[in-house]
Amino acid sequence: MKNVIEPYKIKTLEPIYWTTREQRRQALKRAHLNLFFIPSKDVVIDLLTDSGTGAMSAKQWSALMQGDESYAGAKSFFIFEKAVQEITGFEFVVPTHQGRSAERILLHNFKSKGEYIVSNMLFDTTRANSEDFGFKVLDLPCSEFFADTEYHPFKGNIDLQALEKALREKSVALVVLTVTNNSGGGQPVSLQNITAVKKLCKKYSVPLALDACRFAENAWFIKQRESGFKEKTPSEIAKMMFEQVDMCFVSAKKDGLANIGGFICVREIALSANCKNRLVLAEGFPTYGGLAGRDLEAIAVGLKEALEESYLEHRINSTACFHQQLADSGIPLLSPAGGHAVYIDAKRFLPHLPVSAYPGQALAVALYEYAGIRGCEIGSVMFGKTLESGEKTYHSKELVRLCLPRRVYTQSHLHYTAQSIIDFYKKSANQLRGIKITKEAPCLRHFTSHFAWIE
Ligand code: F0G
């Protein structure tokens, strides 16, 4: 694997506080074994999410000082709008305070247009918002997606045959392609797949949206892995991705390299007007959409920096190197490495635990206790449910996602993390107990549930 050094120098420092295993055990007790309740000062390496956790560049910090905080018509909005238009090619841009509000505002427009939202795989907030509006959600990942240990360049692709069947037989309101597929290993979607989906959507007159949080990482994978794109820049490829779709919603907390923000892009003025009407109710006036002028400035710079080749090459390579170090020691992972995260397969890591003992959550909690590493369960806690009958449903995968914040950790931080996980796997994994849920919320339960170790 090519060794690529961090393409930046570090100017501002934030301390990492060491904690003992006993201190972390106490923190877990106070948090009811829910890692979302652990104060960040008690975390050594925080890989909970790549959302809003990135480091801003000197250029972004200086743009922040240019923020125009006028309620209406702020100069910062027009700078932001121009940057988004240039990158995506869309005419109408609606700012929001983060991705899930963009989803909610956009999805609201499709409420009477059909029964289903069909996707390669929706992220949890998109799924919860869709279900909240009464949609049924149909995830149709390609067959390669299910071969966890085998290499395929575009495991994020949607299954085109299954999609056509759904479009033919069901009442579909909207097709959403999530790039990259966050719930399924951070895997990319090829341009060929996006283009084919567009063709099918056109044939059945169903609109196509991109959940484009990680559009730059997806563009980089296309450049590296899809034939015919080697000579294209990430910006050119991203533009080609956006050209294929009717609309997109974006959390700027990922490839916007910002700590907060999001947006919707559409091609039709009527749809844009509807979105803005709801925006005013929920987020604010259309030239700030729940953000400060300075945030809009930071996003405008961040979106462009995220498309720089040196940045993307290092980013995707450091995820791959981290994945390789773990894989070389036999840690069961989803392969190949995703763009923003490495996903441990908890079912294979803890083969003695049944899914009813939530192996993903048990492993995430155990890694925090063992080494202060905070990952995130993506499994039956996140996607399972307790039905009204009391029956419990489980997800097909039990994963622990180790998500890499952008421009935050160095190779030595990742080396420490990998080594700690390898140590835990060799020394203690087979003694780990399972977990039970002791309190749960009706939706997005992973954020607020309480858990306990099974005796
Ligand atoms: N879509 C995808 C694919 C996401 O990964 C996220 C957030 C959202 C939408 C919602 O955006 O957080 O700005 O409201 N993902 C974060 C994560 C939370 O940890 O993966 P948001």
pLDDT number for residue 1: 58
Average pLDDT over the chain reads 96
Question: What average pLDDT does this structure show over 110-131?
Answer: 95
Which of the listed residues 105, 106, 182 should we mutate to test ligand 1's pocket, taking the one with most ligand atoms within 8 A of CB? 182
* Dihedral sign, Cα of residue 443, residue 449, residue 452, residue 453: positive
What's the pLDDT band for 49 if we cut at 50, 70, 90? very high
Query: Is the CB of residue 290 less than 8 Å from the CB of residue 261?
Result: no
Nearest CA to ligand 1 atom 8: 99
Tokens of 241: 């991705």
Atom of ligand 1 nearest to the CA of 101: 14
Percent of the residues in the chain that have a pLDDT greater than 90, as a whole number:
95
CA 124 to ligand 1 centroid distance, Å: 8
What's the CA angle centered on 361, arms 347 and 375, to 5 degrees? 100
CA 206 to ligand 1 centroid distance, Å: 24
pLDDT number for residue 328: 97
Nearest CA to ligand 1 atom 19: 49
Strands (E), 169-271: 172-178, 208-211, 247-251, 262-266
Q: What pLDDT, in 10s, does the model give residues 52-62?
A: 999 999 999 99
* Residue among 207, 212, 165 at smallest CA distance from 188: 212
Contacts of 162 (CB under 8 A, 6+ apart): 140
Strands (E), 155-226: 172-178, 208-211
Could you tell me if the CB of 251 is within 6 A of ligand 1? yes
What's the pLDDT band for 3 if we cut at 50, 70, 90? low
* Dihedral sign, Cα of residue 237, residue 243, residue 246, residue 252: positive
Q: What pLDDT, in 10s, does the model give residues 154-163?
A: 999 999 999 9
Q: What is the pTM of this model?
A: 0.96
What's the pLDDT band for 184 if we cut at 50, 70, 90? confident
Q: What pLDDT, in 10s, does the model give residues 322-342?
A: 999 999 999 999 999 999 999
pLDDT number for residue 168: 98
Which of the listed residues 96, 130, 213 should we mutate to test ligand 1's pocket, taking the one with most ligand atoms within 8 A of CB? 213
* Residue among 400, 316, 346 at smallest CA distance from 4: 316
Helix residue ranges, H only, 306-358: 309-328, 346-349
- Taking the CB of residue 35, how many other CB atoms lie within 10 A of it? 22
Tokens of 101: 């509000």
Counting every residue written for the chain, the total comes to 455
Could you tell me if the CB of 315 is within 6 A of ligand 1? no
What's the pLDDT band for 444 if we cut at 50, 70, 90? confident
* Residue among 404, 438, 444 at smallest CA distance from 186: 404
**CA dist 350 → 161, 262, 339, 429 (Å):** 35, 37, 25, 7
